[in-house]
Amino acid sequence: MYASLVLIVLGVAFASGITIALMPAMVIAVLNLLTALKEGEFLLERFGDEYKEYMKRVLYRFIPKIL
């Protein structure tokens, strides 16, 4: 979901042809990263070892095999 939101905003920015329209995409990307990190901390506290095992199986937060 995080990656799709950034891709949608990037698509709109490129479709508009206005360079400044890329700024919201960059802001959203940073906010998504911060949110994902906070969620990871919360889930680790909430689920403990079970979440650690999940993290070992799912190595990427945004785009599989890339990021």
What does the pLDDT look like over 12-22, one tens digit per residue? 888 988 888 88
In the chain, which residue ranges form alpha helices assigned H by DSSP? 2-16, 22-47, 49-57
Domain boundaries, the chain: 2-57
Both tokens assigned to 64: 């599989």
Count Cβ atoms within 10 A of the Cβ of residue 6 and give its class: 0-12 exposed, 13-18 middle, 19 or more buried.
Answer: buried
Q: How far is it, in rounded angstroms, from Cα 38 to Cα 12?
A: 28
The closest alpha carbon to 60, from 36, 41, 43, belongs to 36
Give the type of residue at 33: L
What does the pLDDT look like over 18-51, one tens digit per residue? 888 889 888 988 998 899 899 999 999 999 999 9
